[in-house]
Structures are given as structure tokens and as C-alpha cells.
Amino acid sequence: MDDYQETRCEQCVIRQFNSLRAMSKEELKKVSDTKTTQYFKKGDAIFTEGEKLNGVFCVRDGISKLSKLSSNGKDQIVKLATKGHLLGQRSVISNEPANLSAIAVNDMQVCFIPKEGILNTLNSNSNFAVEVLRHMAHDLKEADDVIVNMSQQTVKQRVAEAFLYMKNNFGEDDKGFLNLTLSREEISNVVGTATESCIRIISEFKKENWIKASGKKLAIINEKALIDLVNS
């Protein structure tokens, strides 16, 4: 890792993927002066639900699951964040404790940006505010769609959708295996179901030759079948 000299935000390519690109050079410099780079290992918490956040986290590498504990004691993964995503924005903007926990699924490299830099820019640079707004609008639309899927689709459809989501958002390697590898339990926490139910459906998919497995890695073989299932 190149922490002998940390990358400055101004030069960081990652920021092209998120709302920080709407900041001016000077704003970015100020932010860069206050930011710190942090490393998390698989399973570490970046923050946990209920925690007060003093800034936002910009993911440089690795993947984080954003989840919430429900009253029955089970974790529900609400979304997965990767390179370029900002975590904790919502909490900082509404000045409330975090609503979700962010846990590293992989080893991660994350920049912590104190909230002052964000809030000041938000108030002075409406370009930036609108850019953040656009991202939040997009997240909201996705969340609404998830609500509809969660309440109206069968577990089987939701598992299929989870695979498609993993493919579309995190891609696959040259051999067709999904870049993102989740444990069975994590998949069921995305889908919102019991682990065994989820496992059973995965093995059905294998029998149908819609997906295959090699070690922990999974690959989608028949994407169309999965899509058809979701839309039926």
C-alpha cells in the first residue's frame, strides 16, 4: 500500500465516481488537508448503527456491507458499497446518528473526511449540493425499488436478483466468476431470508445450470434465465 505518501484528493481518481468531483480545487485542497486514510480488515466495522459520525468515509478499495439489525435479531443488508462510494453522508447531512452499520466484506482502504469540510462546501457551493442531491435521489429510487421487490417477490426471485445485482455492480473476472464473494449467510442477509432457504435455492440454480460454483466463488452461466425468473 502506498501510505508512505498518501494520495491527495485533488489527484485521486476515485473522486470522479462520487459527488466530490463537484468540489472546486481549493475546496478539495482543504478537504485533503484534513482527511486521513484508514485501513479495515474483513469483518471490521467502519461504523455501527447508532454511532455519531464526525465525517464521511470515501471507499478507495474493498467492499462494505451496509446493514441494520431488526427487532428479531437478524441483520438485513440494505446495500453494498464499493470503490468511490461515500458512506455516512446521510447521517452527516441530517446530523443524526448512523442508521446503518458499515462492515468491511473485504480488506478495505477508506478515506475519512471530517464533516466540517463537507458541510461548509455544501453551504457555499450549490453545485456540490446539487451533485450530492442527485446521488441521494438515485439512492432513494433504488431504496424504493428494493421495498417493492422485498414485499412482492418470492425468495427465489430475490436470490436471482441478488446475483444480478452482484454482477452489475461489482462485475466478474475473466473466467466469469463474480468479483464479489459473499458467504451464504451474507447472501441470505441481502435477500432477507433464512440461510438454509437461500442455500437450497442456490443448489436449485446449480442443478438448472443457471449458475456454477468453484470453491467459494460463484459464476452466472445463464443470466437470461435469472432475469426471466425475476420478471415473472
Report helix, strand or coil for 174: coil
Judge contact between 87 and 53, C-beta under 8 A.
Answer: no
Q: 97 or 171: whose CB is closer to its own copies?
A: 97
Q: Using the rule CB under 7 A, is 209 a contact of DNA?
A: no
Whichever of 60 and 158 has its CB closer to its own copies, that residue is 158
Residues 82-111 close enough to bind its own copies by CB under 8 A: 89-90, 93-94, 96, 99-100
Please enumerate in sequence order all residues whose Cβ is within 8 A of that of 76, keeping only pairs 6 or more positions apart, or say none: 67, 68, 69, 70, 189, 192
Q: Which residues pair with 178 in a beta bridge?
A: 172
Kind and range of the H or E run holding 220: strand 217-220
Residue 230's binding partner among its own copies, DNA, none (Cβ under 5 to 8 angstroms by kind) is its own copies
Print the binding letters for residues 163-202 with its own copies: x by CB under 8 A, - otherwise.
Answer: ----------------------------xxx---------
10 binds DNA (CB under 7 A): no
Out of 93, 155, 164, 230, the only residue in the binding site for DNA (CB under 7 A) is 155
Query: What are 205's strand-pairing partners?
Result: none
Asked if 41 is part of the footprint of DNA (rule: CB under 7 A), the reply reads no
**104 contacts which partner out of DNA, its own copies, none, CB within 5 to 8 A by kind?**
none
Strand order of the β-sheet with 36-40 is 36-40, 108-114, 55-61, 86-87
Q: Are 107 and 42 in contact (CB under 8 A)?
A: yes
| b/e burial code for range 89-126 (CB count within 10 A of at least 16 → b) | bbbbbeeeebebbbbbbbebbbbbbebebbeebbeeee
* Site map (CB under 8 A) of its own copies, residues 129-168, x = contact: xx-xxx-xxxxxx-xxxxxxxxxxx---------------
- Give me the residues that bind DNA (CB under 7 A), please: 154-156, 183-185, 192-197, 199-200, 202-203, 213, 215-216
- Give me the residues that bind its own copies (CB under 8 A), please: 68, 70-72, 74, 76, 78, 89-90, 93-94, 96, 99-100, 122-127, 129-130, 132-134, 136-141, 143-153, 191-193, 230-232
